Amino acid sequence: MAHSVSAFQAAYISIEVLIALVSVPGNILVIWAVKMNQALRDATFCFIVSLAVADVAVGALVIPLAIIINIGPQTEFYSCLMVACPVLILTESSILALLAIAVDRYLRVKIPVSYKSVVTPRRAAVAIACCWIVSFLVGLTPMFGWNNLNKMRRTQELNASHTEFVIKCQFETVISMEYMVYFNFFVWVLPPLLLMLLIYLEVFNLIRKQLNKKVSSSSNDPQKYYGKELKIAKSLALVLFLFALSWLPLHILNCITLFCPSCETPHILTYIAIFLTHGNSAMNPIVYAFRIKKFRTAFLQIWNQYFCCKTNKNARTTTAETGN
């Protein structure tokens, strides 16, 4: 049976589709830039690619699934759970990628001489693989049993229902708030965010000390190195800040739901929090384009090589054919 969509749901779906249309091409452009530009091949940009892959998946997979959940079709419990889990996996992947980026930037300023021998491409690849493995384990924990199945069964028994166990598929119906707050937020979101904050504070402190120390140096190379590191660190710290700003409101609402069951949260706040989490995936390419020169150069190179010049070439060909 077709499920009718209200005007409010239509507006929600339109905004989600718009976010996906910005997020997917933008993050594909980030991956493309790293692939084609040799200057973007160090460990930091490999971790940025991992983050971009997660953001592409948010636009291409999570947003369509979120729209399905918003419509609330009637499904079997574990089918609904499979629809709800990808966002948990990709959120954790983004957090761990940001943590890896922060650690990488710390090592670049702490041990600049031996950095390349410590952070090898192989070790970076292993770190990325470990981040994704942990993300799948954390995100799929509800599939292993920490979910609302027993609560739903008790409710069904109380209602004396003997029909097939089918539910209206919504996130809070299948995902336990205890899991979301105690395990997901208090263990796998908040501590990494606080750790990254401390790491970036130390990175800025180390850079400041080195810049002050090298002011009187006859060589400009250390000054140039740490100046460049400062610019990149500021840009990546901004990415972290935007991530925290986008995700903390939804987790705070989850805490209110768990610790204050009688508190009524306006639906509009929940929708705004959801838009922020999904919109975060579209923000990073914009930050890279405006804040990191290597990315800006690579984006312009892609535009000129594959789009702008191609258009001009086609125009010239058409003009030549018309002239003939």
Calculate the average pLDDT of the chain: 88
- The DSSP code sequence of 228-251 is HHHHHHHHHHHHHHHHHHHHHHHH
* Residue 60, pLDDT score: 96
Q: Choose the weakest-confidence range: 30-34, 163-167, 236-240.
A: 163-167
* Residue 314, pLDDT score: 55
- The DSSP code sequence of 17-56 is HHHHHHHHHHHHHHHHHHHH-GGG-SHHHHHHHHHHHHHH
User: Residues 183, 186, 187, CA angle at the centre, nearest 5°?
Assistant: 60
> What is the mean pLDDT of the segment spanning 242-253?
96
Single-letter amino acid code for the residue at 75 = T
* Residue 218, pLDDT score: 45
* Residue 310, pLDDT score: 58
- Give me the residues paired with residue 166 across strands: 76
Could you tell me if 102 and 96 are in contact, meaning their C-beta atoms sit under 8 angstroms apart? no
Identify the band that residue 251 occupies on the pLDDT scale cut at 50, 70 and 90. Answer: very high
Task: Measure the CA–CA gap between 115 and 145, rounded to whole angstroms.
Answer: 42
> What is the mean pLDDT of the segment spanning 163-186?
90
304: region left, alpha or beta (phi > 0 left; psi from -120 to 50 alpha) = alpha
71: region left, alpha or beta (phi > 0 left; psi from -120 to 50 alpha) = alpha
* Residue 5, pLDDT score: 66
Q: Residue 296 pLDDT more than 50? A: yes
Could you tell me if 292 and 34 are in contact, meaning their C-beta atoms sit under 8 angstroms apart? no
* Residue 3 burial (C-beta neighbours within 10 Å; 0-12, 13-18, 19+): exposed
Phi/psi for 74 (5° steps) reads -80, 120
